[in-house]
Chains A and B, each alone.
Chain A
Amino acid sequence: MNETSAPERPLDGEVALLASIWHRNRLAVRCEDTATAAELVAALIEYVPPYRQLVFCGVVPKTLRFVPDVKIIDLQDLAGLRDSLLGAIAEEGMGGSPLQIVYFGADREVFESLLAFLDRGWVATTALEDIPIDGGAGAGRREIQRSAASIVLLDPVPDNTFLEERIFEDTAHRSASLRKFLIRMKQSEVRLAFDAIQGEIETGNRYHRAFFKETLKLRERTLQKAFEIGLRERRLDLSSYVEDTPPPITRLLKKLTSLEGLLMAVVLDKNTLIGIGRYRDVDLPHKTISLLWDTLSDLTEMLSPKDNCRSLEISTTRYHVLLMRDDYLFGFILDRDVLPTAFKVAFNKIWPER
């Protein structure tokens, strides 16, 4: 057994455990004492997303037999159990609830004949020192000490643990129920976001990340998590169907932060939202821009049929709205005190890409 066991802060360990469970990584709770193992499993299943189907196999401790909504499979025939679980896992890609399996009291045969065939989504309690599972051995493996037991992370901890870290930071010195609320809320949000994105993509339209961030009101890290968890649970890589904001637009949106009085910037490519920046507290949907343009562009064509409209400035009692057509349609909401012409000059300086 070549496991690493570097000393770590308790918080790092919890972050790694939450991330591992959320990403359906494989874990082993190594402990001689079944009562201690049961306690650790009880703590770990707090990190299981609420929509996942918990499945207990093996010698299920009495204390855990009445966990709500758990399915207990008492099958002793490992080949039969393997076929049954593999069948249920195959349904995950077709919309079935993703499984979270816990095998209590796994011996060498259980690892070799059952768990080795399941590439994700299980926790096993075991007394084995040498866990016979391929793939995570060596550098990828981490071991987290918990009193008389250790939890072995058989797969590498996911790279993107920002959300997990944030939850533990935000709930430091707070109650477990508060933390549970945040964990479950975020897990449900990520799951619902994935479903919504999948539904939209199935319509066959073209989408950018900016559209989903804006429409689903997600931060970049949460959107990324939705793609990652969806891949682990549904085996479906939706990120490949969603386009990134073109790098020049990303750079532009960053540079625009330096322009005073700019509240919001929207970039559309043939009615597709490809970039958005909110620079000050303004609660206007990005559709404001496309709606204005759609309303007015037909009329502007009547104004000069062979003469393209380059920009449209609308001053209202609250804002200046600037619509500029280039390769893209840019929409800017400016503070009432800003001179739109001055903004245009500044914008032209920082948008050399065209």
Chain B
Amino acid sequence: MSDLLKDFSSIEGFGGVGVFTPTGESIIKLEAANSPLKLKELGPVANSIMIQAQKAALETDLGASHFIHLQTEKAHVLVRCLNEGSDLIKTQPGKSHIHLVLILKNDSGIGLAKLKIESHILKLAEAFRT
């Protein structure tokens, strides 16, 4: 699992990557050395944004949300939700439900980051299947 996370560090401008439970608890994380973008602080907030976005998207009839991408003046924050169950918040038995948070500097390569997220999220999910 940590190898999968390490692979994200090859992205230019890497700030940190972490896997969270849908309730915002950190499961595993990897932070770039000397990065001004602190995953410890940003991760839980990014996770909350994902949860709120999911609720708002359902309330506004947009459908179930599984990915958000925030761009600020200094950073990109990408959150990917993989939920094999049907409950938005709870993790159902035998189903994986994780949130992957990736933080990058503003000038980073987002295309590559998105590709890596999609290719690694399923592998990470296997490890967290209950």
Contact = CB atoms under 8 A, between A and B. Distances in A.
Interface of A: 284, 287-288, 291-292, 295-296, 299-300, 302-304, 307-319, 321, 333, 340-341
A307 B75 CA distance: 9
Contact of A321 (B52, B57, B73, B111): B57
Given A303-B45, A313-B69, A296 B62 contact: no
Contacts of B42: 303-304
B74 A292 contact: no
Interface of B: 42, 45-46, 48-49, 52-53, 55-57, 59-75, 77, 110-111
B71 A310 contact: yes
Contact of B70 (A312, A317, A341): A312
Contacts of A317: 63-64, 66
Contact of A316 (B66, B69, B77): B66
Nearest to B49: A299
A316 B64 contact: yes
A321 B53 CA distance: 11
A231 B129 CA distance: 67
A229 to B, nearest CB: 35
Nearest to A302: B45
B60 A291 contact: yes
Contacts of B62: 284, 288, 314, 316, 318-319, 321, 333
Nearest to B74: A307
Given A292-B56, A310-B72, A341-B110, A299 B48 contact: yes
Contacts of B77: 303
Contacts of B49: 296, 299-300, 303
Listed from nearest, the 5 A-B pairs whose CB atoms lie closest are A318-B63, A316-B63, A315-B67, A313-B69, A317-B63
20 contacts: A284-B62, A292-B53, A292-B60, A295-B56, A296-B49, A299-B45, A299-B48, A300-B49, A300-B70, A303-B72, A303-B77, A304-B74, A307-B72, A307-B73, A310-B71, A311-B71, A312-B70, A315-B66, A316-B64, A333-B62
Nearest to A321: B62
A304 B68 contact: no
A318 B65 CA distance: 9
Most A C-beta atoms less than 10 A away, residue of B61, B63, B64, B72 = B72
Contacts of A307: 72-75
Contacts of A341: 110-111
A309 to B, nearest CB: 5
Given A296-B53, A303-B72, A304-B75, A284 B67 contact: no
A310 B73 contact: yes
A284 B59 CA distance: 11
Given A300-B49, A303-B45, A309-B71, A314 B57 contact: yes
Nearest to B111: A341
B70 A309 contact: yes
Contacts of B59: 291
A23 B70 CA distance: 52
Given A291-B56, A292-B60, A303-B45, A314 B72 contact: no
A312 B69 contact: yes
A296 B110 contact: no
A304 B43 CA distance: 12
B36 to A, nearest CB: 10
Nearest to A293: B56
B72 A319 contact: no
A288 B60 CA distance: 6
Given A302-B45, A312-B68, A312-B71, 18 more contacts: A284-B60, A284-B62, A291-B59, A292-B56, A299-B45, A299-B52, A300-B70, A303-B45, A303-B49, A304-B75, A307-B73, A312-B70, A314-B62, A315-B66, A315-B67, A316-B63, A316-B65, A340-B69
